[in-house]
């Protein structure tokens, strides 16, 4: 288990976490699903399928990535996928349950990743969907957009070297 400031920590995700991880995934798609107007059973089946697809795809796309459960005071509140290479750290995904957003938990995780990137002398990268409010949060934490794609922005954080 990896502990951060305060009560926030990470532990490896296991198959026993699947229902919780599906719930976290579904919570990130609530607005989109509401706009689609699917019946509840169709929506639940669709979100389960999308969650399972992500569970299969991320390890192929990001070999060796760490899939972790985010804990706050020992209670599961979210998940991360972090892929470390010699060149950089990619935050492939971070998601918290809605009732745990805006409380500093995500910031604690991001700051720890920034410290790690600074220590290793590499960039911390992520992608955020175009127009998402969360992009402003990343900017507050020092991330800058380096490329815009059709559906997302690529953002990068680099430690600023101190001038003597």
Per-residue pLDDT tens digits of the chain, which is 164 residues long: 666 667 899 999 999 999 999 999 999 888 777 787 888 888 889 989 999 999 999 999 999 999 999 999 999 999 999 999 999 999 999 999 999 998 999 999 999 999 999 999 999 999 998 667 788 899 999 999 999 888 889 999 998 765 55
HEC string of 41-98 equals HHHHHHHHHHHHHHHHHHHHHCCCCEEEEEEECCEEEEEEEEEECCCEEEEEEEEECH
Q: How far apart are the first and last CA of the chain?
A: 37
Within 13 Å, how many C-alpha atoms sit on residue 126's CB side?
A: 27
DSSP notation for 3-28: E-STTEEEEE--GGGHHHHHHHHHHT
Q: Would you state the pLDDT for residue 133?
A: 78
As a CATH number, domain 2-157 is 3.40.630.30
* pLDDT at position 25: 93
Domain segments of the chain as ranges: 2-157
């Amino acid at each position: 288990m990896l502990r951060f400031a305060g009560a926030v920590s990470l532990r490896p995700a296991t198959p026993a976490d699947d229902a919780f991880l599906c719930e976290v995934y579904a919570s990130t798609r609530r607005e989109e699903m509401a706009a689609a107007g699917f019946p509840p059973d169709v929506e639940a089946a669709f979100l389960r399928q999308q969650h399972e697809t992500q569970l299969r795809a991320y390890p192929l796309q990001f070999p060796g990535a760490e899939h972790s459960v985010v804990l706050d005071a020992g209670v599961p509140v979210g998940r991360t996928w972090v892929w470390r290479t010699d060149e950089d750290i990619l935050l492939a995904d971070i998601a918290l349950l809605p009732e745990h957003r805006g409380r500093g938990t995500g910031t604690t995780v991001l700051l720890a990743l920034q410290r790690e990137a600074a220590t290793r002398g590499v960039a911390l990268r992520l992608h955020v969907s175009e127009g998402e409010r969360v992009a402003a949060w990343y900017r507050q934490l020092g991330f800058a957009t380096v490329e815009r794609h059709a559906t997302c922005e690529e953002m990068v954080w680099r430690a600023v070297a101190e001038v003597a």
